[in-house]
C-alpha cells in the first residue's frame, strides 16, 4: 500500500479526498487538519507522498513543506489551494512542491496527479553518488559493476547494479518495489515485477557467501537489504 499524508483543514473535504484515494485500493491515507499535526504525522507515518492544503491554521502548507524538505528532499508534494495567483504557484514550486492543484477540483484529476507523481523516478544525481559501498564482507563498486569478497569478483549487469545500489541506499529499511520498476523498466506491470524478482534472486546468489547479508521480501511492499 502507498502511504499518503493528507493535510487539509476542511474536514468534510478531507474525508471526500481520503475516500476517493482509498477507493483506488492502493492508498492508505493519514489525515491531519493543521500544519503541526501534519508535521507530527509525517514523522510517524513516513509517507510516500504528501497532499498539502496551502491555507491551514497554525502552520500553512508552504511553511510545512519547507520544514519537511529539510528532513526529506525527495518525497513528492502536491499542493491544494484556493489561491490563484502566479506568485503563489511559483512559491510552491520553489519550496519543493512537485505539483499544484487549484480548488475546486475534480477528484479524478487529483487521483491521476497523485499517481503521476508516484511514477516519477526519484534518483540522486550520478555525480553525487558514492562509487564504493561495503555490504557486510563485500565491496560493491558501482562504476565497475562488480561485487567482491576476498579474491572473488562477481560481475553485475546494469539492472543488478542499479537494484543493489538502491537496496544499499535503503539498507536495513524497506525499498519499495514501484519506484524501482518505474526507474529501471518504465512501468510497474505484473510482468516487469516478475522480472525484478528474477534479478533479486540473482543478487541473493551473489551475496550468499556472507550469511549476515540478506535480501528479504516485505510482502506487498518491496524488499529489505539486511547487512
The domain boundary, picked from 119, 153, 188, lies at 119
pLDDT value of residue 39: 94
pLDDT value of residue 88: 75
pLDDT value of residue 118: 85
pLDDT value of residue 89: 76
Q: Model confidence over 83-119: pLDDT tens digits? A: 767 777 778 888 878 888 988 899 999 999 998 888 7
Q: Spell out, as residue ranges, where the chain has pLDDT lower than 70.
A: 84, 121-129
Tally of domains within the chain:
2
**CB-based burial label for 44 (10 Å; 0-12, 13-18, 19+):** exposed
Longest CA–CA separation in the chain, Å: 64
The domain boundary, picked from 119, 141, 170, lies at 119
Same-domain pairing of 87 and 173: no
Same-domain pairing of 189 and 206: yes
Same-domain pairing of 11 and 105: yes
Q: What angle do CA 30, 21, 88 make, to 5 degrees?
A: 75
CATH at 92: 3.40.50.2300
Same-domain pairing of 92 and 165: no
How far apart are the C-alpha atoms of 112 and 89, rounded to whole Å?
Answer: 20
pLDDT value of residue 125: 52
Domain span at residue 70 reads 2-119
Amino acid at each position: 500500500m502507498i502511504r499518503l499524508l493528507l493535510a487539509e483543514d476542511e474536514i468534510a473535504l478531507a474525508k471526500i479526498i481520503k475516500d476517493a484515494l482509498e477507493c483506488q485500493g492502493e492508498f492508505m491515507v493519514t489525515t491531519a487538519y493543521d500544519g503541526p499535526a501534519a508535521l507530527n504525522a509525517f514523522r510517524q507515518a513516513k509517507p510516500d507522498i504528501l497532499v498539502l492544503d496551502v491555507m491551514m491554521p497554525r502552520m500553512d502548507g508552504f511553511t510545512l513543506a519547507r520544514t519537511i524538505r529539510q528532513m526529506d528532499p525527495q518525497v513528492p508534494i502536491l499542493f491544494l489551494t484556493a489561491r490563484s495567483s502566479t506568485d503563489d504557484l511559483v512559491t510552491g514550486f520553489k519550496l519543493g512542491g512537485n505539483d499544484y492543484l487549484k480548488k475546486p477540483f475534480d477528484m479524478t484529476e487529483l487521483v491521476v496527479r497523485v499517481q503521476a507523481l508516484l511514477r516519477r523516478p526519484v534518483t540522486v544525481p550520478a555525480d553525487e553518488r558514492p562509487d564504493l559501498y561495503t555490504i557486510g564482507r563485500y565491496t560493491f563498486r558501482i562504476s565497475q559493476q562488480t561485487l567482491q569478497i576476498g579474491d572473488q569478483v562477481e560481475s553485475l549487469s546494469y539492472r543488478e547494479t542499479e537494484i543493489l545500489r538502491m537496496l544499499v541506499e535503503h539498507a536495513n529499511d524497506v525499498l519499495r518495489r514501484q519506484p524501482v520498476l518505474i526507474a529501471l523498466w518504465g512501468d510497474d506491470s505484473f510482468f516487469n515485477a516478475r522480472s525484478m524478482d528474477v534479478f533479486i534472486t540473482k543478487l541473493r546468489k551473489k551475496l550468499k557467501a556472507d550469511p549476515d547479508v540478506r535480501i528479504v521480501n516485505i510482502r506487498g511492499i518491496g524488499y529489505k537489504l539486511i547487512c
